[in-house]
Amino acid sequence: MKKVFMIGAVCLLAACGPKENNASKHMENAVVAYQQDGKDFEGYIAQPKKSDKKLPAVLLIHDWDGLDDYEKKRAQMLAENGYVAFAMDMYGKGVRAKNHKEAAELSGTYGKDRKLLRSRLETALAELKKRPEVDATRIVVMGYCFGGMAAIEAALMGADIKGVVTFHAALVFPTLAADAKNVKVPVLIHHGGADKFIAAKDIKTLKAEFDKAKVKYQFVVHEGATHGFTLKSNTGHAEHMGMAYDPKADLASWASLLAFLRDNLK
């Protein structure tokens, strides 16, 4: 869903979010152009100012709209906390959804073709790992909605990473039964207790297969939170398209993410 940053009654993570006036003193960011299969992609990187040592990193995967200001803001927040954050481009340079219909079509392409989705993940991970400032042995993959599903797919394909974190993720995986055994890293899933988009049977199936494969995972339910609970564009009304911004769940899930990164990117 298209995200517009709005001034709300609650300031998101004022203590640990990027300081607008001083951000340039602490971090740097840039557009990252890369290619796959002759196609152009355009990601975004945010990182602390030059360090004398290689830094842990996070690969951030956008929601169904495509990479936009929301993910860039989150990347900046990660950089302010000492991580190199690469917001990848799943769809291709300039390919962004203009409305819900286009978003559904774009994300649906990758939902149906998991081989293509995995190849996009592999390319983005390779781009992040080859950066001289990145410690390629310390990378976590995270994502929102569609991107959360893609992040779990990275674990299912056995990617060489240290963990996966998701926020209000889609939870349907065609090869889950066969590939759960490939998950060798901890997985942290943040889910809204009032999420009407994610079927209970899909949650049950995911947990059952993860339990069978002895996956180390946490399924955190934020009571009363809907789908898209981290999106401030849903502020100012009770609910929008089945979604509402939940500052409590947003704050709690972000704090949980930072704790996960500290524990798994030592």
Question: What is the structure's pLDDT at 96?
Answer: 96
Number of domains the chain contains: 1
Residue 181, Cβ density class (10 Å: 0-12 exposed, 13-18 middle, ≥19 buried): middle
Cα gap 89→85, rounded to integer Å:
13
Does 223 map to a domain? yes
Question: What is the structure's pLDDT at 18?
Answer: 41
Question: What is the structure's pLDDT at 241?
Answer: 66
Helix ranges restricted to H, the chain: 23-26, 69-80, 100-112, 114-129, 146-156, 176-179, 200-212, 247-264
Containing structural domain, residue 86: 24-264
Cα gap 240→219, rounded to integer Å:
25
Question: What is the structure's pLDDT at 219?
Answer: 98
Does 7 map to a domain? no
Question: What is the structure's pLDDT at 19?
Answer: 42
Does 14 map to a domain? no
Question: What is the structure's pLDDT at 20?
Answer: 45
Does 8 map to a domain? no
Does 73 map to a domain? yes
The CATH number that applies at residue 140 is: 3.40.50.1820
Does 19 map to a domain? no
Q: How far is CA 13 from the centre of its chain?
A: 17
Does 6 map to a domain? no
State whether residue 213 is helix, strand or coil. coil
Q: What is the pTM of this model?
A: 0.89
Q: What tokens does 120 get?
A: 């996009």
Residue 231: what are its φ and ψ, rounded to 5°?
-90, 115
Q: What is the mean pLDDT of each run of 10 residues along the chain (266 residues)?
A: 33 38 74 97 94 94 96 97 98 94 96 98 98 97 98 98 98 98 98 96 98 98 96 64 88 98 97
Question: What is the structure's pLDDT at 9?
Answer: 32
Question: Could you give the angle at the alpha carbon of 116 between the alpha carbons of 132 and 74, nearest 5°?
Answer: 50
- Dihedral angle over CA of 249, 250, 254, 260, nearest 10: 30
Question: What is the structure's pLDDT at 39?
Answer: 97
Does 3 map to a domain? no
